Amino acid sequence: MKKFSFLLIFTMIFTMFGGAALADNHDQAKVRIVHASPDAPAVDITVDGKVVVENAEFKAVTDYLMVPSGEHEVSIFAAGTVSEGKPVLTTQLSVEADNAYTVLAVNKLEALEVAVMNDDMMTEEGKTKVRVGHFSPDAPAVDAAVTGGDVLFPNAPFKGVTDYLETDPSTLDLEVRAAGTEDVVLSLPGTELKADMIYTVLAVGLASGEPALDAIVLADPSATVMPKEMPDTGKGGVTGLMLSMLPFVLVIGTVGYFFYKRKNAFQA
């Protein structure tokens, strides 16, 4: 009976620690945030009232944050004003488990809004993927092309995001043109597209004025060739502690059972 009780307690401990650790990433989505509003000041951003970004300036990009699936309230504040409770913009964000999203603050300050991109995290092994997002509020629709050559992504409007193009790894000289013309508005020479990587090229800034038109390049490793669960910033917490303690729980349980058996042997 004692032996059964001991094993039952050990199983409960394993379930408490191991089960919680293994369940940590269930029902979670990945979300990163980009400040792409050219004339907005540095901002603080909250999700469901919790500050997740502080003092982010134009072109700032966060790491992916782990967010529970479902509906979330996202608010953007001028940096340092969260305590005043007066956001510049508040919007609802809906995310699904096991998906990844890039959330952007876009447009000029007077018309600030949020755009959301669904991020593909998979490639065929050895291949690369690239897409283009147009977030320059005063630029016309654009074509993304090989310098002096073929158009890869035609006629992307403001806030438009192209489909991914999967291709072989290469280094390309790219350019952004006013749609349907040869007028180059942004050059991207020596753009390296590596194997098993996924790229998002964001055109940001102003075609006429400051800050000038520029590009943000987001580069992400393909989940095809990496473990599905990767360590994320700030993900330690209680569950991380439980996971780190799991080997000790197993050792303690094994040693305890060994001494229990020895004790019974001497008492026999």
Say how far apart CA 30 and CA 2 lie, in whole Å. 46
242 within a domain of the structure (yes/no): no
* pLDDT band for position 226 (cuts 50, 70, 90): low
pLDDT of residue 6: 45
Q: Which domain holds residue 48?
A: 28-119
- pLDDT tens for 52-103 read 999 999 999 999 999 999 999 999 999 999 999 999 999 999 999 999 999 9
Residue 49 and residue 93 in one domain: yes
Do residues 48 and 72 make contact, with C-beta atoms less than 8 angstroms apart? yes
Q: Give the tokens for residue 158.
A: 């403001």
244 within a domain of the structure (yes/no): no
Least confident of 5-19, 23-37, 183-197, 218-232: 5-19
pLDDT of residue 224: 81
DSSP string, 101-140: EEEEEES-GGG-EEEEEEEP----TT-EEEEEEE--TTS-
* CATH number of the domain encompassing residue 83: 2.60.40
Mean of the per-residue pLDDT values of the chain: 83
Element (H, E) at 233: none
pLDDT at 225 over 80: no
**Whether this model's pTM surpasses 0.95:** no
Mean pLDDT for 101-117 is: 97
Residue 226 and residue 129 in one domain: yes
Sheet holding 142-146, edge to edge: 151-156, 142-146, 170-178, 184-193
pLDDT of residue 24: 54
104 within a domain of the structure (yes/no): yes
Residue 136 and residue 104 in one domain: no
* pLDDT band for position 197 (cuts 50, 70, 90): very high
Q: Which of 119, 137, 156 is the last residue of a domain?
A: 119
Do residues 33 and 95 make contact, with C-beta atoms less than 8 angstroms apart? no
